[in-house]
Amino acid sequence: MKIIDAHIHLWDIDRLDYPWLANVPAINRTYLLSDYEKARGGTAVKAVVFVQCECRPDQYRDELAWVQSLADRDPRLKAIVPWAPLEDGEAVAEALRAIAADPRVKGVRRIIEFEENIDFCIQPGFVRGVQLLGEVGLHCELTIGPRNFPNVMKLIEASPGTKFILDHIGSPNIAEGRLQPWKDDLRAFAASGPHPCKFSNLVCNADLENWTIEDLRPFADAVIEIFGPDRIIWASDWPHALRASSWQRWFETARELTAGLGGDSQQKIFHDNAARFYRL
């Protein structure tokens, strides 16, 4: 089976500042492509997608330049999803045009889930920034929690020219088995457009130390039911996922959770859908 890992992170703590890592000692060190190669073991990965890592906001261009230099040396790093100050509205247009000039840059990711203001993503400046993504040919990568779905739906409605992808199945509370209202909101999100959903980070929303595949299964089954095999994209979320699982354990777990779909559908989830959405 061909594999694309559609969500990995790389960071060098001697090069850039990542304030959030101080609160996550288990992964508070440098992670490079050489570490990723060791993590995946003998599993062949055809391509990877780098997703921004929440470095200090004023360093986002430095992060992009560093990852571009890594991609220059390793052609398997085929897609880059950086950060950008979308809330600046029209003022971010020039920056977006500049980053979109590199065809390896496919979209912009913002972690709306961490914003204290529940209305952050529907403020006029942010909405305009998201609209501009579509105008320069980039997608919007959504990392949200269950409470963010209602406003994200408003954002999508206001940005018909922009493509969206949902990271980490919308971060449901798997540790407490809380399927609702997440499942109903996920269904509404899926119905609002052709947005794909990343099959990733389930383990970090479960009991980090004691999760089992059966803890994940009701949530995985909901994603499969709602999005179907044509709109699900597998990803490792390495090394963030190391808080709960090795790369290999999550990969094998995801294969088992999707095994009932059959080989052709699994090939879509683990490769084809990512190749299409990220234009690899």
Give residue-wise pLDDT tens across range 184-195. 999 999 999 999
3-class secondary-structure state, position 80: strand
The whole-number pLDDT of residue 276 equals 98
Tell me which residue of 280, 266, 253, 243 sits closest to 28, measured CA to CA: 243
Cβ partners under 8 Å of residue 139, min gap 6: 106, 107, 108, 133, 162, 163, 164, 165, 277
Task: Indicate the DSSP class of residue 198.
Answer: E
User: What are the pLDDT digits (tens) for 232-255?
Assistant: 999 999 999 999 999 999 999 999
Q: What is the pLDDT of residue 202?
A: 98
102: left (phi over 0), alpha (psi -120 to 50) or beta: beta
Separation between Cα atoms, residue 3 and residue 44, nearest integer Å: 7
CATH class of the domain whose range is 4-277: alpha beta
Q: pLDDT tens digits, residue range 88-133?
A: 999 999 999 999 999 999 999 999 999 999 999 999 999 999 999 9
Q: Taking the domains of the chain in order of start, what are their residue ranges?
A: 4-277
Enclosing H/E stretch for 72: helix 60-73
Place of tokens 């970090």: 204
Q: What is the pLDDT of residue 19?
A: 97
Strand order in the sheet with 107-111: 107-111, 139-143, 164-166, 197-199, 232-234
pLDDT < 50: residue spans in the chain:
none
What is the rounded distance in angstroms from the CA atom of residue 274 to the CA atom of residue 76?
A: 14
pLDDT of 69: 98
